[in-house]
Structure 1
Amino acid sequence: MSLLRVGNRALEIRIAGSAPRCLRRFVARLAGTELPTVPTGQGMQVRGGRRTRLTVDVNRGEVLLELAAELAGDPATLEIGVLQAAARSLAVMGDGELALLHGSAVTADGGRSAIAVLDGGRGQGKTSLALGVAAHDGSLLVDEFTFTAFSCGQPCVVPMPTLPWHVRADMAPLLAPHTTERLLYAVDLPAPTTAGHRPLPLSLIVIPDQGLAPGELCETPASVARDLLRAAVTDHEAKLRDPTLDHVSIFSSAEEVTISGSLPAFNFGEKALDALAAVPVIRVGIGKPDDLPTSVAAVIRWIRGDS
C-alpha cells in the first residue's frame, strides 16, 4: 500500500500490477513510506480499462483512475496525470481544513515561514521563480500543488517533500539542471531541501506578471490582490472538472471525468481569498527565461527590505 500524505490526511494509492512499470515506480516514490492503515479511509485505484477516465466519489472517499491500454503519451505525461488526479481528488474529498492552491512554495526566514509563488492568471514563471528564490538560503516545499491550511488564522503551507517539480528545458541552468526528465524531485535540484514536514505560516505571496518589466515590483493592496489570487484558488477545481484546461493531460474531454455525490465548496471559496489577501502580495515582472535572474534578485531584495 502506498500513501500520499498531506498533513494528517492520507490517500491510499493502489496501482494495478498491469500498469506501466514507470507508473508503479512513480507511485511508490510519491508515497515515500508505506503504512498499514489509511487514517482517513480514502483510497485511489489506478488500473487499466477500455478508455481513460476518472471517477471521484466524494461521499465514499474513493477515486478510480482508469488508463486505456492504448493510451498515448510518454512516461512523464502519465505520471503528471496520476499526480493531478491524486492531488485534486485528495483536496476535494477532505473535510475542509486544507485548500489546494495553484503555485509553488519555498521557505523563508531560515525555515520559519513560507513564500508562495502563485498563479495570477497568466500561468508562467511560478516554478522558475520559486527555484530561484529557494537558491538564496531557502528550501523547496512544493511545486504546483500548494496545500494550505487556514485553521490557524494565518494561512500555512504544508510541505510536500515527496512530490516532484515540473521543470522545462528553458529554465536557467543554475536553477534546474539540463535534463531530458520533466519531473525532478527536490533532492535532484540545486536548492537546499532541508524543510521539515510541519506547516509553515505564509509570510509573502509573489505573483509573476509578464505585464511588468523584468524585475519590476509592484506591491499590491488587499482589495486588488483578492482578484489576482482568484486564479490560484480556483484553477485546480476548474481543471478537475475539465482536465482539457491542463497544458499536459491524459484526458481528451471533460466527459471523461465524473464527480459523484455533491462536491463540497472547493478551497473555502471567498474565505480563502480573504485570508490570502491579508498576506503581503507583490507582483514581479517575469520576462523571458534569460530575465529570470533579474526577477529573482528583485524578490530577494524585497524580502531583505532593500527595495
Structure 2
Amino acid sequence: MSLLTIGNRSLELRVAKSAPPSLRHFVTRITRAERPTGQATQSMHVCGGDRTRLIVDTCKNEVLLELAANLPGGQATLEIGILQAAARSMAVMGNDDLALLHGSAITTDEGKSAVAVLDGGRGQGKTSLALGLAARGGSLLVDEFAFTVVRHDQPCIVPMPTMPWHLRADMAALLVPGAAERLLYPVDLPAGALAEHRPVPLSLIVIPDHGLPAGELREAPAPAGRDLLRAAVTDHEAKLRNPRLDHVSIFDSPDDVSIGRNLCGASRDEKMIEALSAVPIVRAGIGKPHDLPASVMAVSRRIAGGT
C-alpha cells in the first residue's frame, strides 16, 4: 500500500496497472510503502480516460483522477498535476483540523520552530527565498503544499519529506548548480530535509513582495496581515475548483473538476487566518535572481532577532 501521509491523514495512492513505469516511479517517490494493515483515511485512484478530469467525493473521501493520453507539457507537468490533485483533494476532504497554505517552510532554532514563506499575492520567489534561508542554517520542511495544524492555539507546519520542491528555472543556477529538473527532491538540494514527521511550531511568516526593493522588510500588522494570509490560505482550494487560475495545470477548465460540497471550508479558513494572524508577518522585498542574497540576508537577520 502506497500512502501519502499528512498529519493524521493518509491518502492511499493507487495507479492503474496500465500506467507507464515513469508514473509508477514518481508515485513511489512521493509515498511511503506501508504494510496492508496500514490505515488509509482517504484514497486516490489514477487511471487513463478519454479526457483529463478530477472527481473528489468528499463524503466517501475518495478521489478519481483520469488522465488523457498525450497530455501537453511532458512528464514534469504531469507530475505537478498529480501533486496538486492529491494535496488539494486531501485538504478539502475530512474535517477542519488541517489547512493547506500556499508556500514553503524551513526550520530554525535547531528544528524547534519553523518559518513559512507564503504566497500573499504579491509576486513569486517563495521557494527561492526558502532555499536561500535553509542554506544559512535551516532545514527544509515543505514546498508549495504547506499543510498546517493548530495545537493549543499554536499554528504548526507539517513536514513533507517525500514531496519534491519546485525550482524556478531563472533561480536554479544560483541555488542548485547543474539543476536540470523542475521538481527536485530534498536529497537533490543543498539543505537536508527534516527527518521527523512531527509538526513544527510556526514562529514567523514571510511574504515575498516584488513591490518592495530587494532586501527591504516591512511588518504587516492587521488588517493588512490578514489580507495577505487570506491569499495563502484560500489559494490552493480556489485553483482546485478553477484550474484556469493556475499557471501550471493538467486541466483545461472548471468543468474538468467535480468536487463535493465542502461545508467546513469557509469556517476552517477563518479559524486558520485567526490563528496565523497571531504569528509575526513581514513583507520581504524580492527582485531578480541576482538580488536574492540581499533578501535572504535581510530575512535571516529578522529571524535572528536583528533589524
TM-score interval, smaller chain: over 0.9
Alpha-carbon shift at residue 224 of structure 1 (Å): 1.8
Q: 1:149 and 2:140 equivalent?
A: no
For residue 200 of structure 1, what is the amino acid of its counterpart? V
SS in 2 for 1:229: helix
SS in 1 for 2:271: helix
With 102-111 and 178-187 compared, the bigger mean Cα shift is at: 178-187
Alpha-carbon shift at residue 122 of structure 1 (Å): 2.5
Q: 1:34 and 2:51 equivalent?
A: no
With 163-172 and 108-117 compared, the bigger mean Cα shift is at: 163-172
Specify the alignment match of 2:25 in structure 1.
Answer: 25
Alpha-carbon shift at residue 291 of structure 1 (Å): 0.3
Cα distance change on mapping 1:271 and 1:41 into 2, 3 Å = closer
Q: Distance in 2 between matches of 1:172 and 1:45?
A: 33
Q: Distance in 1 between matches of 2:7 and 2:239?
A: 23
Specify the alignment match of 2:275 in structure 1.
Answer: 275
With 293-302 and 28-37 compared, the bigger mean Cα shift is at: 28-37
In structure 1, the gaps of 5 or more residues are none
SS in 2 for 1:215: coil
1:40-55 alignment, distance < 5 Å:
40-55=40-55
For residue 297 of structure 2, what is the amino acid of its counterpart? A
Q: Distance in 2 between matches of 1:194 and 1:260?
A: 34
Is contact 1:164–1:183 with CA below 8 Å preserved after alignment? yes
Cα distance change on mapping 1:176 and 1:112 into 2, 3 Å = same
SS in 2 for 1:117: strand
CA RMSD of aligned residues (A): 1.5
Alpha-carbon shift at residue 195 of structure 1 (Å): 4.4
For residue 56 of structure 2, what is the amino acid of its counterpart? V
Specify the alignment match of 2:204 in structure 1.
Answer: 204
Specify the alignment match of 1:236 in structure 2.
Answer: 236
Is contact 1:100–1:267 with CA below 8 Å preserved after alignment? no
Alpha-carbon shift at residue 8 of structure 1 (Å): 1.6
Instruction: Give the total of aligned pairs.
Output: 307
Is contact 1:237–1:266 with CA below 8 Å preserved after alignment? no
1:44-123 alignment, distance < 5 Å:
44-123=44-123
Q: Distance in 1 between matches of 2:175 and 2:94?
A: 34
Specify the alignment match of 2:216 in structure 1.
Answer: 216
Specify the alignment match of 1:162 in structure 2.
Answer: 162
1:161-200 alignment, distance < 5 Å:
161-171=161-171, 173-200=173-200
Q: 1:137 and 2:149 equivalent?
A: no
Cα distance change on mapping 1:181 and 1:266 into 2, 3 Å = farther
Deviations 1:108-161 (A, max 9, x none): 111100000000112400000000011111000000000000143110000000
Alpha-carbon shift at residue 193 of structure 1 (Å): 2.2
Q: Distance in 1 between matches of 2:292 and 2:81?
A: 28
With 196-205 and 65-74 compared, the bigger mean Cα shift is at: 65-74
Is contact 1:222–1:278 with CA below 8 Å preserved after alignment? no
Q: Distance in 2 between matches of 1:139 and 1:104?
A: 11
Q: TM-score, normalised by structure 1?
A: 0.96
Is contact 2:104–2:118 with CA below 8 Å preserved after alignment? yes
Alpha-carbon shift at residue 172 of structure 1 (Å): 5.3
Deviations 1:229-274 (A, max 9, x none): 1110110010010112111111111100001344531571222111
Specify the alignment match of 1:259 in structure 2.
Answer: 259
For residue 175 of structure 1, what is the amino acid of its counterpart? L
Alpha-carbon shift at residue 70 of structure 1 (Å): 3.2
Q: Distance in 2 between matches of 1:267 and 1:105?
A: 24
With 35-44 and 104-113 compared, the bigger mean Cα shift is at: 35-44
Alpha-carbon shift at residue 54 of structure 1 (Å): 0.1
Q: Distance in 1 between matches of 2:195 and 2:215?
A: 27
For residue 203 of structure 2, what is the amino acid of its counterpart? S
Question: % of aligned pairs identical?
Answer: 66
Q: Distance in 1 between matches of 2:41 and 2:225?
A: 37
For residue 162 of structure 1, what is the amino acid of its counterpart? T
